[in-house]
Structure 1
């Protein structure tokens, strides 16, 4: 299995390399066509009148053969439009033929130069140029180089001007260049092959990532760190956010955040630490519905850019259960207002950490015990709920009300003064009198109150505030029961 995998990789590389070589030879052929026009100008005009006519004739033939070969390749290249032909031997044969043509052309041009100036620049330039531009297979290039270099050395020997040392010098320089060109060919080809394999590994890793990404049972989204653009979203994510495959590419992940500033702070955290685990927040779907989610963020590299991999778990139902438990733990079940524990906790926090002044109103329902004794506890519950309903109807959203005891309630008018509290109290009393005028019940509904104005400059505890308001309430209750100026406290409520 390993050998099959390696062979498949080699075939893929050979095909990819052949496509690259054929493309570069095509560009080289186009450039050479224009270069040969200049060469013909030199052959027929610049070299006109030189004594060595054979030099001019041979050079013109070399240029003409090169020009013809370039035109022929441009026609041949059109045959390689079909992918199936790349899996045959013909691309390799064509490539090796043209590499051989380039090298041999340089060798013949340099041999011909021995008749005029004795240089071998054409051969050397062509060798370096070929190995730099065309990553041909080293084994193939070795045979091309071996054959052409033998011909070059033989031709160099026969066409040299008889100067022994010039011949030796050219022989050494050309052979050294041939060896160096082969080394360059080997290095560049090996580097390209290794790079191709690395790219193949990366591609396979990305495919494996995509597979794991898509089969994951939880919503996963991959987004750009810079602009939040959605790069990938598995089917679970599309289903969770109510997004179709067609429009997901047009969305960015900010669309799903109810709080854009929170998204910004999350990205800053990711840039600093690279991950963020078990983060709870509220998100919205494309149709506007909201869900509570537990999110894990991970900063990763994907497609040469920094991306954010986001894994989401829907905890909306858990949040609902949590809210219900919170309600049971903090709400008085009979009246629906806060219970004593939660109410005291809020006021304690205000007195300890805030400078907001408030008026605390201590309220007691008159004669609740007598109603319970004479008419039963259901009637007592009705009395408590009626009073609470009337009180809540006159409060603002920022006001706090909680049940302090069986027939006792506390109201905190935040950032308000006593005149506001007394006005609201008068309205509550008037509404209760209206309720009594209906004579629905065989008893009258009445309440007593006491208040205390608190500001942060006072050195007093919350319990002392409540005790003072409670005493003021008892004074009013005593007056209502006809016990003088309120200095006496009755035995009952």
Structure 2
């Protein structure tokens, strides 16, 4: 029977968390010990100030001859003791604040003060019972004391229980009329209310603490997962891009400072802010973006090609973007290098036929879609076969290179030259009319003349040009355009040779 009673009591204690053996209970004790010390100091300061009013009350009552002398002596004595104790406790609180936290001393100080508070509440009410017949002091003080200490439930409840039993005994001894039962009932009800109020506040504090600890653990787990991830990861606020968290790899990747400024946001890492806006729109529609190829930049000014994967998440109550990036700058560099090799003529460094024809086809299709026309120049190197036969193919290659160098010096940035085959080349003039193209060809011929006059080579360097300007209203195929320019080139070559 006794064993079952203690088992039930243990289960009851566990339900109400009275044992204070939950996870991280020492941290809970430390946190609320500091809070209790603050409350205790405030409560003691209030008692100290109230003591002066008590002494004034003693003085007034002493002037009244009808007041019981024993009541007055007891009241004055207790007021003096309360005043002196308030000074002692204020000094003790001051010393503890300088040497925080000594948990044993703080616990003893708080529990002793609670014991004295309810003890003097009982004594003051029992003394009032002699003269006024009320126990209001006891009822008010025990309710107020329940709010001072939010920890040590078993100690506090035990103090309440022991003191209340002594109070009931004292009340039975001093109150001999029928009202004793009513007063005992009222006092007991007050104690129960105070106990329930204390337990509610205590349990709320514990539950709130455990929830905070759980959030801390979730955050720590989240951070651990973040840090062990091999890719740079960022969390930024959805609305304004404000960076909320970055793992170490992201800090190194973007060159982030140890303490990012408040005005730093995720848009600063995009070379083109429109890319970030596009990602946000996709996230709003699908909640995730995968394998988005984009150019990003670091705070150190570096540009990197990245593959971005993003997802909308709830980051501790805020709508946020979880972003992971993979650096493909080296892959892009190799790809560009391969593309360059695949699209470049190895001898001259200009585009090869495949790459050049692709660009020419795109420009031709652009005209069909409403763009302006373009001009095409087809040129052929004169006397290349003679140079090859006389001086060898190496010198013939050098001649081709020299011709391309001279021509490229006269071209604009938007103009494109590519090797059509052998000694034949094509120039696409993006924004030049036929007259301007022929003027450019004339300047190139002058450059050839100057080079030949310098007699740097034992042979004559020259090229023949054919020009055609294509306009949107012309109903011609691309092959026909090249053919027309080619015929114009042969016409100019024959004219130059006097045929």
TM-score interval, normalised by the smaller of the two chains: 0.7 to 0.9
Flag structure 2 segments of 5+ consecutive residues without an equivalent. 1-20
463-472 vs 253-262, which deviates more?
253-262
| Alignment gaps of 5+ in structure 1 | 1-5, 484-493
Distance change (3 Å), C-alpha of 1:383 and 1:19: same
Structure 1 residue aligned with 2:201: 188
Q: How many angstroms apart in 1 are the aligned matches of 2:270 and 2:231? A: 21
**Which of the residues 421, 439, 445 maps onto 1:405?**
421
Q: 1:148 aligns to what?
A: 163
| Equivalent residue in structure 2 for 1:132, among 147, 156, 160 | 147
Secondary structure in 1 aligned to 2:378?
strand
TM-score normalized by structure 2? 0.78
Correspondence 1:232-251 to 2 at 5 A: 233-234=247-248, 236-237=249-250, 239-240=252-253
Select 1:450's aligned residue among 437, 445, 467.
Answer: 467
Q: 1:313 to 1:359 in 2, by over 3 A?
A: closer
Pick closer, same or farther for the CA change 1:296–1:227 going to 2, 3 Å.
Answer: closer
Q: CA separation in 1, counterparts of 2:476 and 2:45?
A: 95
Corresponding position: 1:93 with 2:105: no
* Aligned residue runs from structure 1 range 4-153, under 5 A: 9-45=24-60, 49=64, 51-53=66-68, 54-80=70-96, 81-82=98-99, 85-86=102-103, 88=104, 90-114=105-129, 118-153=133-168
- CA distance, structure 2, for counterparts of residue 43 and residue 301 of structure 1: 63
**Whole-angstrom CA distance in 2 between matches of 1:290 and 1:141:** 65
- 1:257 aligns with 269
RMSD: 3.9
Equivalent position of 2:10 in the other structure: none
Note the alpha carbon deviations across 1:325-367, whole angstroms, 9 max, x for none. 1212322222222233333333433444564424322322144
**Structure-2 separation of matches of 1:261 and 1:46:** 82
Q: Size of the alignment, in residue pairs?
A: 471
Distance, in Å, in 2 between the alignment partners of 1:419 and 1:45 is 119
Equivalent residues of 1:254, 1:260 under 8 A apart: no
Closer, same or farther: CA 232–143 of 1 in aligned 2, 3 Å: same
**1:179 to 2:196 alignment:** no
1:199 aligns with 2:215: no
Q: CA deviation at 1:321?
A: 0.5
Judge which range, 355-364 or 43-52, deviates more: 43-52
Report the 3-state secondary structure (helix = DSSP H, G, I; strand = E; otherwise coil) of the residue aligned with 2:147: helix
Question: Does the Cα contact within 8 Å between 1:340 and 1:405 map onto a contact in 2?
Answer: yes
CA distance in 2, matches of 1:471, 1:243: 62
1:344 maps to which residue?
Answer: 357
CA distance 1:463–1:129, change in 2 (3 Å): farther
Cα distance in 1, alignment partners of residues 94 and 149 from structure 2: 20
The 1:319/1:480 distance shift into structure 2, 3 A limit, reads same
Q: Decide whether aligned partners of structure 1 residues 364 and 422 sit closer, same or farther in structure 2, where only a CA change above 3 A counts.
A: closer
Contact 1:230 1:251 in 2 (8 A): no
CA 1:206–1:414 in 2, change beyond 3 Å: closer, same or farther? same
Specify the SS of the correspondent of 1:469. Answer: helix
TM-score, normalised relative to structure 1: 0.79
Distance 2:212 2:379 in 1: 80
User: Which residue of the partner structure matches residue 409 of structure 2?
Assistant: 393
**Structure 2 vs 1, CA of residues 71 and 258 (structure 1 numbering), >3 Å: closer, same or farther?**
same
264 and 295 in structure 1: CA distance in 2 versus 1, 3 angstrom threshold: closer
Q: Deviations over 1:91-123 (max 9, x none)?
A: 333222222223333344444444565554433
